[in-house]
Structure 1
């Protein structure tokens, strides 16, 4: 997978007559579609974990509703909203055909408002079902948060929504990793009698160790993984490391760094799908033991 990305970026134009910027744009669109699916899968996994923890007896009956909610709102409706917001950009790149003037100024705003009402209605139905199934407050709050974010897809500018969407994904993944990693360290220490056992920290010290480590790595690597952004002014790194980002963008390594950013994202999506499939009973049991053990 990683090799394919770099081959596509560096193959000579005499062999593949497509300019490098167009290749990068194609990979970015693939990253967007795959990323939306990846986010929807994470939301589905979280809802299933909450359901199995709060009321396992109703887990089977809510399975289809969760899947439709996560992929229907978290993928299809988000995709529609972002395409509507980015219609002018996609037309400039000749990805979408030119639309009449009335569409951009009258029809699209109506569709965006209708999409907002649709998301609110679906979210209300999901919350009602969760209450009837006694699914617990965490699951209800997660459904509400997801509904609010998808509403933001129709109401916010694309960069604002994507920052919110990716931040929620990062926080959720970070929380899961810190909780699982902390519990794993705690179990290992109890078996091997490590020196951490003699420390005076609270019982949550192991989660904090993992959390601080992952936060530090995320901040340090952010400039390298954001260099493939479509335009300047739309990246966290330009605020945190402005001079460093300028140097990266104007260095001879820029295409390699774009490849690293894209390939790492694709590899992340693939590994998540291949390893962390919460539809598998053994995976759910392992996750449950690590999260709540």
Structure 2
């Protein structure tokens, strides 16, 4: 009995000290009983994007706050075809064709001044409403996000396109270094990839992107002196009109309520 008791103490000491305080049930997850399913995207969120956010126009003021002159493509890596299209911009023609929302599509919406309202529609669908142009973006979590697969041809092109979403966690991934797969990370970001967009404008003066453009975005949060901020980095790839990917970042400050929320109609001018 004494030898058996000593062996038991040695085993417990190994689990606590040698195993770095890893729970026995977590150790079994490495090859024993299966762990539970991963949490749904809403519960797995490493950051909280929900609420009302107001844009901070700290750069590109002359292109974001007013409509720049026709042909102004400064700092946008347009190719020759993109420049020709920008030079041919005709807002009256867009209005006549019912295309006055071209500057409010996913490729340009986040850079327009205004406010966002972000909320969960369900456990796997995040909605981003913008009062500029009264636009709504829908972020879909699921298999497409894991594989990077584009939506099928049954998804009709729209101003906001079809966005697949996936959380990207800082530090060790789920199940690594002895962590159970259901442990929530401290921080991270949201990665979205948007395709199936209707042709639109980067800027209100007709700098174009095509229906084949692919928009990749990284959404993250930070806090400074008790104030929450949202930073969205956009990477837009469009070989038809761009000589290289167009990378931009925009910032938003969180609001306590919906003060200032004012949905407006699209304006081609």
User: In which range does the TM-score fall when normalised by the shorter chain?
Assistant: under 0.3
| Larger helix fraction of residues | 1
- Quick check: which has more Rg, 1 or 2? 2
TM-score by length of 1: 0.23
TM-score by length of 2: 0.24
